[in-house]
Chains A and B, each alone.
Chain A
Amino acid sequence: MKKNIEITDEDRKVAAFAALAIVIHVLESGFPSPVPGVKPGLANIITLLVLFRYGWRFAAWVSLLRVTAGSLLLGTFMSPTFLLSLSGALASLLTMWLLWTVMRRWVGLVGVSVLSSISHVMAQLFVAWWLFIPHPGILVLTPILITAGILFGLFNAIIASSIEKRLTDPKHNSI
């Protein structure tokens, strides 16, 4: 246990990955979505990569830093948008933790990405329904969001694994 504040190598890595995730998060928020709430969640690719390289604790840091700093940059900190984002991230992290600690031997990027994406959507829907007006619009969106969540979960896993492949290639092995 470190007693005094000291910037470690690990901290630097967390910061670097979080920075990358924040950039993706902010860029993605600039693109309009055809259906409200449907987003690919590309920043999650970073979280996935970090999870598989450095473990859950590391991934949790990156993810929470992204949500917090991202919302500060977008000016949505502590707004309903932020709470939705946070609830999604927490649910997603919880799923990752379960899979990582209990079923790491049997589950790879695809399984983690798809399941965490589903929990992300479900948590957001629940929070939206519970905190905001239980508007029928949310009910109508539910199937669309869940379907999109599964498909984007798969999509992100494919991208993450192709990046992972390049990272493990000795020629590019610099991280």
Chain B
Amino acid sequence: MRWKHTPLLASILILLLAACEKADLHRYQSFAFGTLIEIKIRHNEKSLADQASAVLMLDFDNMHRDWHAWEPGKLTQTSGMLAKAEWFTVDSPLLRLIKLAKQYSLLSNGLFNPTIGKLIQAWGFQGTEHPQTPPSQNDIEKLLTDLATVKDLEIDGNRMRGHNPQLQLDLGAIAKGYAVSEGIQKLRGLDIKNALINAGGDLCGIGSQGKRPWRIGIRNPSGEGILASIELKNAECVFTSGDYERYFIHDGRRYHHIIDPRSGYPADKAISVTVLHQDGAIADAASTALFIAGPEGWQEIAKKMGISDIMMVDKQGRIIMSPSMQKRIKLETGHEDREVVISTPLTADRNIQ
């Protein structure tokens, strides 16, 4: 008697059941872009959905390789060229991404800073191995004295020149958002009108799930379970930056991966920031910038970046939301009686697209 086929049979059974329920919703899952990517596509042609998802996964892997902050590739080469302080040309997808990064960095008053690869490296948040100890106060001060900003990055057409030997690109806070939005564009080009891309917890969706809009649960940043839910309108992204995503504990203190370029230390004013926006790249960059800004300074940055839907969980566990976000967010049972602070309306400056 052999039972080893039973799980297989049971899985087939489950798949059959699932298949007859949602015939046109296709789900794909793969490791790409250095994270776990899930793509859901609603389309009556399964073969098209299969192909589209396979293409997307490959694209994500290519983008990840090209834009990697420390593994040798196009981005590290670019950083190398920038250090030489001479003009050079950059290929167009990367150029576009760097241009966007520069624009968003300026709008964020430098809180989102894609040129501080050296500082991130010193903290050990580059590399697959996890850091164990923070850099010394001395090292951080040294790095801060001549810290690069995007102003040291001169762009002219498709040419680029660096003005600071400290400048080292790290697009970690924008690349994923840009990539997911690119993926959505690609799906649109393939005539797929309903899809959801989940890249390790950051999502962009178009269309709907079928019976209802794409519904997203936002994980509780300070504990287990789900804090709130949100239903995506057509073409929207929801990105969260949190102190729980990558961190290490040293001498009882927790050091996470979102470094405040002003202090050189992990930003310590918020636990998480969730941003809702049509564009993944800005949602990604803004969630980082607003996280660093914290509950005091975020409104000014949000206005400048054109962000109107934002939710922040601060150190006290309070939930701070913009009025337009409050209309969209539904707190889960168990969280309804949490302290919620509604900010003044963010009449966003429309200086972005």
Which A residues lie at the B interface, using CB under 8 A? Answer: 36, 78-80, 131-133, 135-138, 140-141
Task: Find the B residue at minimum CB distance from A78.
Answer: B1
We find that the number of chain B residues with CB closer than 8 angstroms to chain A is 10
What 10 A-B pairs are tightest by C-beta distance, nearest first? Answer: A135-B10, A137-B13, A132-B6, A137-B14, A36-B13, A137-B10, A133-B7, A78-B1, A140-B17, A133-B6
Give the chain B neighbours of A36 by CB distance below 8 A: 13, 16
B15 vs chain A, min Cβ distance (A): 9
SS class, residues of chain B in contact with chain A: helix
Q: Are A132 and B1 in contact (CB under 8 A)?
A: no
A133 & B10 in contact (Cβ 8 Å cutoff): yes
* Residue of chain B at shortest CB distance from A132: B6
- Interface of B with A (CB < 8 Å)? 1-3, 6-7, 10, 13-14, 16-17
The smallest beta-carbon distance between B143 and chain A, in angstroms, is 53
Question: Is the beta-carbon distance between A132 and B10 smaller than 8 angstroms?
Answer: yes
Partner of A137, one of B1, B2, B17: B17
Q: Are the C-beta atoms of B6 and A80 separated by less than 8 Å?
A: yes
28 A-B residue pairs with Cβ-Cβ distance under 8 Å, sorted by A, are A36-B13, A36-B16, A78-B1, A79-B1, A79-B2, A80-B1, A80-B3, A80-B6, A131-B3, A132-B3, A132-B6, A132-B10, A133-B6, A133-B7, A133-B10, A135-B7, A135-B10, A135-B13, A135-B14, A136-B14, A137-B10, A137-B13, A137-B14, A137-B17, A138-B10, A140-B14, A140-B17, A141-B13
Which residues of chain A come closer than 8 Å to B7, judged between CB atoms? 133, 135
CA distance A109 to B13 in the complex (A): 34
What's the Cα separation between A141 and B10 when bound, in Å?
11
Residues of A within 8 A of B10 (CB): 132-133, 135, 137-138
A residues near B1, Cβ cutoff 8 Å? 78-80
**What B residues does A133 contact at CB under 8 A?**
6-7, 10
- Closest chain-A Cβ to B66's Cβ sits at a distance in Å of 42
Query: A85: shortest Cβ distance to chain B, in Å?
Result: 14
